[in-house]
Amino acid sequence: MKTVLVTGGAGFIGSHLCGFLLEKGFKVICVDNFLTSTADSIAAIRDNPGFKLIDHDVSAPLEVDGEIDYVLHFASPASPVDYSKLPIQTLKVGALGTHNALGIARSKSAVFMLASTSEVYGDPEVSPQPESYWGNVNCVGPRGVYDEAKRFAEALTMAYHKAHRLNTKIARIFNTYGPGMRKKDGRAVPNFIMQAISGRPLTVYGDGSQTRSFCYITDMVEGIYRLMLSDVNGPVNLGNPEEHAILELAKKIIGLSASKSGIEFRELPVDDPKVRQPDISKAKSLLRWEPKVSMDDGLKKTIEWFRR
Ligand code: NAD
Ligand code: UDP
């Protein structure tokens, strides 16, 4: 039985990943300090005999007993609302947290995976974004704390791969949504669904013409799993290549939830990327992976979960 250590394992993606890995027969060690989550997210797996929780800030050094085969570093605030409230913690977990997680992987001769992000491309001048695009990031802007933390984390991961021959993976994750997101997470999908089902106006920032590409959580977890088992070491985009304007997303959610809510336009946050769409050719050819869940099906399941 192989063991996987997941930092940020109590978060939205992390908790789905822990549940999936337990079902596949792995032992799972979750390291989380509940900075942007609560223990509720792991309630369903907490008593599984293969699951162990270490309540710890991964930006501080950590020693873990026993064998570990994979280290998946997912700890980091991820919602723009969270990382703008937690700028120093975000930079620390991207830098010190990644260093500590790499250190654990090295000491255990484990495979390491970094949860990176489409934000390494910043406000992209190339669309769709292939992995070869270097990005357009404002390092001193409000998103810089997250973007630069992840860019540093990618550089550190590649340095461990080259200097220590560590078997590393970099998942460049694009917008992911689904059941298990926090109601007040602040990201577009949970905000719009909560507003729609409670009859409040949906808050669209700017004119809503900015685009994003939304991947359903089960597709994302499958992509992460395939990358984890692959022999690919360079960055790989994981996301749904279908691109939607944010205003279109808001209208879709109103329709799918049969809501009477209207739309309220608010100021566009500084440096909000105008477009975002993954080029997933690499994931398709190297991992034989592409998303399967349609936007309508994924949103319906998510709306149902939020209603409950
Ligand atoms: P989330 O906020 O739901 O989960 C993050 C988890 O990390 C939380 O449980 C939080 O408590 C934990 N954490 C934060 N700092 C920590 C620290 N110092 N020590 C221990 N635990 C810590 O976010 P998410 O959406 O699940 O994102 C998970 C990862 O995936 C992040 O690294 C994020 O950058 C990346 N990612 C997510 C998306 C997305 O759309 N969800 C997109 C791109 C990248
Ligand atoms: N957004 C919005 N209303 C909201 C929340 C977000 O219009 O209540 C917009 C946000 O400005 C961005 C897009 O939706 O253009 C996606 O935002 P999110 O916070 O989900 O993730 P991002 O891709 O910006 O990291």
Q: How confident is the model at residue 72 (pLDDT cuts 50, 70, 90)?
A: very high
Taking residues 286-297, what's their average pLDDT?
Answer: 98
Q: Which fold has domain 3-176+216-239+278-287?
A: Rossmann fold (3.40.50)
**Residue ranges per structural domain of the chain:** 3-176+216-239+278-287, 188-211+243-276+295-307
Using an 8 Å Cβ cutoff, are 210 and 274 in contact?
yes
Q: How confident is the model at residue 265 (pLDDT cuts 50, 70, 90)?
A: very high
Taking residues 163-183, what's their average pLDDT?
Answer: 98
Taking residues 83-91, what's their average pLDDT?
Answer: 98
Ligand 1 within 6 A of 176 CB? yes
Q: How confident is the model at residue 56 (pLDDT cuts 50, 70, 90)?
A: very high
Using alpha carbons, select from 123, 168, 169, 143 the residue that is nearest to residue 78.
143
Taking residues 234-251, what's their average pLDDT?
Answer: 98
Percent of the chain with pLDDT over 90: 100
Ligand index nearest the alpha carbon of residue 57 = 1
Of the residues 84, 183, 272, 274, which should be mutated to test ligand 2's pocket, given the most ligand atoms within 8 Å of the CB? 272
**Ligand 1 atom with minimal separation from the 77 CA:** 2
Q: How confident is the model at residue 240 (pLDDT cuts 50, 70, 90)?
A: very high
Taking residues 99-121, what's their average pLDDT?
Answer: 98
Taking residues 187-205, what's their average pLDDT?
Answer: 98
Class of domain 188-211+243-276+295-307: alpha beta
Q: Ligand 1, atom 14: nearest CA belongs to which residue? A: 76
Ligand 1 within 6 A of 6 CB? no
Taking residues 95-124, what's their average pLDDT?
Answer: 98
Q: Is 146 a catalytic residue?
A: yes
Binding-site residues, ligand 2, Cβ < 6 A: 79-80, 175, 187-188, 191, 203-205, 210, 212, 246, 269, 272
